[in-house]
Chains A and B, each alone.
Chain A
């Protein structure tokens, strides 16, 4: 199994606040690596650093063996990384279908920047692809609905559809089930499991719901005050006394 993403010695400070402290994290092809940790542990910050939204204060990040530490986020996206945000980001004034069409067109424009600029409407193939993604994620009924009137959960699914439209190798999801009811959460987990399987993706996920973590993860790292305290197989992590003390113990009632 070759390594897709490899982050070594990552530090991130915001002024005098040290958020990430010497984080090592790697992800093999086909792996599903879940980063857990309580609120404020630095999960979102780690996502920002890995995806290129911000630069680390120190450390290196490589993607497919290539050093991307100083590469902008859009370049990492172009080399096959799709990411979601803790609060879904979609184009609010556009319909659900248009959101996906813009994503498909962005992928096409990366591959062939000058092709099809004289075409006005989206190409038939692009529209068809967007329609099938819409259907696959159960958003067919929201086709003509502006994203701003979609529910929180529907926006998350739409954002996932936009990421799939990029045909990524690696999908990074920041708390994909945050703020969902238990039923919605289970549906979301099943959906993520399905799309990851069907598209042969690697997954990097942050989460603080333990149910989700153990259903989706093949490897788990625990982030605590900006440090990775444990990393390993789900069973190992579950059995780790330190993890029980700092995390599972306190959250047992929630899961």
Chain B
């Protein structure tokens, strides 16, 4: 499979399918399901943003909870305290805060530590951010921020009141589709290919003239700011922001989506997030054992299909195709 020829038609058909599915939900399901569906869309962005750094640049970060939380708190604070600011400005501020935090973390640790060591450092910085959030009065300490209202977007001629009906849900779907497309461009273009080189063989990449430290840093900052955006979009959806978002255990979610769907595929984390949402919904009445069931199922999938669901599908497809179309004889 070449990475130099990209086929947008395939990506956009799949994206259209996902968006269409999401747009049907409010017409056929109750409010609880619509809420869950919005969360799944945000999780799709959360997961892919993690995997952009993980699968493409080889950065294992457990800082994604803090990026998400920083974005959510930034939006929560500005919406509750600085209500006059346009929502777009609030979103940009959240992305900026997430990117800045990623930049600081990356400058501190990325050059010095790699792999698991870097992951541990992000865990430590994440714990610091978690403690900080719980100590700061203006962020509501243990209680977090409540009354994070859905905003009105002023487009000059028309005003979009996102508080009405399912408006905010549609806003989530549109903005998530946009972010997914942006990440797909970064994954597929020259930048994505050079990231893959940095991950595949850093020494070779270096001696192609690639500044590998800078590339890794950029990947982390992109991942951090897009994750913060996901958090900022989430805040008015939940209408409450709590310190649990910054807890390290929340960082395992995007990793889970990624492993479940398949890290080698751009849409792997999307598939993972959707499957996780379905699983969560299917076991919602089994209070107490629901977590156990979900955890066990996920463990089973991750252990039995190392390439994720998409990896499994891919190899099944290859097996079905193999007898009918004999492959060209390659060089030994």
In the complex, what distance in Å separates the CA atom of A130 from the CA atom of B193? 15
B47 touches A (CB below 8 Å): no
Contacts known (A93-B200, A121-B5); A102 close to B208, Cβ less than 8 A: yes
- Residue among B2, B6, B190 making CB contact with A97, cutoff 8 Å: B2
A72 CA to B213 CA in the complex, in Å? 11
Known A-B contacts A85-B203, A90-B201; A103 and B208 likewise in contact (beta carbons under 8 Å): yes
Docked-complex contact A77 and B206, CB < 8 angstroms:
yes
Interface locus among A7-15, A106-114, A213-221: A106-114
Q: Which of B167-225 contact A (CB under 8 A)?
A: 185, 188-191, 193-194, 196-197, 200-201, 203-212
Judged by a CB distance under 8 angstroms, whether B332 is at the interface is yes
Q: Is the CB of B203 within 8 A of A122?
A: no
B237 shortest CB reach to chain A, Å: 31
CB distance from B198 to the nearest CB of A (A): 10
| A106-B209 contact in complex given A90-B201, A94-B200, A120-B189, C-beta closer than 8 Å | yes
Partner of A74, one of B8, B207, B331: B207
* Distance between Cα atoms of A57 and B332 in the complex (Å): 44
Determine which residue in B185, B210, B212, B332 has the highest number of CB atoms from chain A within 10 A of its CB, and name it. Answer: B210
Instruction: For B208, give its contact among A77, A85, A116, A149 (CB under 8 Å).
Output: A77
A177 within 8 A of B: no
Instruction: Say yes or no: A83 contacts B200, CB within 8 Å.
Output: no
Contact flags (1/0) for A91-132 with B, using CB distance below 8 Å?
A: 111110110011101111110000011111110000100100
Restricting to B3-49, which residues have a CB under 8 Å from any CB of A? Answer: 3-6, 8
> Contact between B185 and A106 (Cβ–Cβ < 8 Å)?
no
Taking CB atoms and an 8 Å cut-off, the chain A residues in 74-90 that contact chain B are 74, 77-78, 82-83, 85, 89-90
Interface bin, chain B: 20 to 34
Q: Does B330 contact A (CB under 8 A)?
A: yes
Q: Whole-angstrom distance between the alpha carbons of A122 and B3 in the complex?
A: 9
CB closest chain-B residue, reference A105: B190
**Interface membership of A53, Cβ < 8 A:** yes
Task: For A81, give the chain B residue with the smallest CB separation.
Answer: B207
* 8 A Cβ contacts from A31-87 to B: 51, 53, 72-74, 77-78, 82-83, 85
Residues of A in contact with B, size category: 35 or more
**Considering the chains assembled together, what is the distance between the CA atoms of A130 and B2 in angstroms?**
13
CA–CA, A149 to B1, complex, Å? 14
**B209 engages A118 (CB within 8 Å):** no
Task: Decide if B209 touches A121 in the complex (CB within 8 Å).
Answer: no
From A72, A101, A105, residue with most partner B Cβ within 10 Å: A105
Contact of A121 with B4 in the complex, beta carbons under 8 Å: yes
Interface string of B91-117 (1 = CB under 8 A from A): 000000000000000000000000000
* A166→B206 CA distance, assembly (Å): 12
Chain A residue numbers with a CB within 8 Å of B191 are 117
With a CB–CB cut-off of 8 A, which chain B residues contact A91? 196-197, 200-201, 204
Partner of A89, one of B2, B188, B203, B332: B203
Of A118, A142, A145, the contact of B189 (CB 8 Å cutoff): A118
Given A82-B207, A102-B208, the answer on whether A120 and B8 have CB atoms closer than 8 Å is yes
Report A-chain residues with C-beta under 8 Å of the C-beta of B200. Answer: 91-94
A125 to chain B, nearest CB (A): 13
User: What's the nearest-Cβ distance from chain A to residue B112, in Å?
Assistant: 15
Smallest CB–CB gap between A81 and chain B, Å?
Answer: 8
A121 to B210, Cβ gap below 8 A?
no
What's the minimum C-beta distance from A119 to chain B, rounded to whole angstroms?
6
Please report the C-alpha to C-alpha distance between residue A110 and residue B4 in the assembled complex, in whole angstroms: 18
Min CB distance B137 to A, Å, is 43
Report chain A residues within 8 Å CB of B193: 98, 101-102, 105, 122
Q: Which residues from B are CB-within-8-Å of A120?
A: 6, 8, 185, 188-189
Contact of A142 among B6, B210, B331 (CB under 8 A): B331
Instruction: Given A106-B194, A122-B190, A142-B331, output 8 extra A-B contacts at Cβ < 8 Å.
Output: A72-B206, A73-B207, A74-B210, A77-B206, A102-B197, A106-B210, A117-B189, A119-B189
Interface residues, chain B, CB within 8 Å of chain A? 1-6, 8, 185, 188-191, 193-194, 196-197, 200-201, 203-212, 330-332
What are 15 pairs between A and B in contact, CB < 8 Å?
A: A53-B203, A74-B209, A77-B206, A77-B207, A94-B200, A98-B193, A102-B193, A103-B208, A105-B194, A106-B208, A107-B208, A122-B193, A145-B330, A154-B331, A159-B204
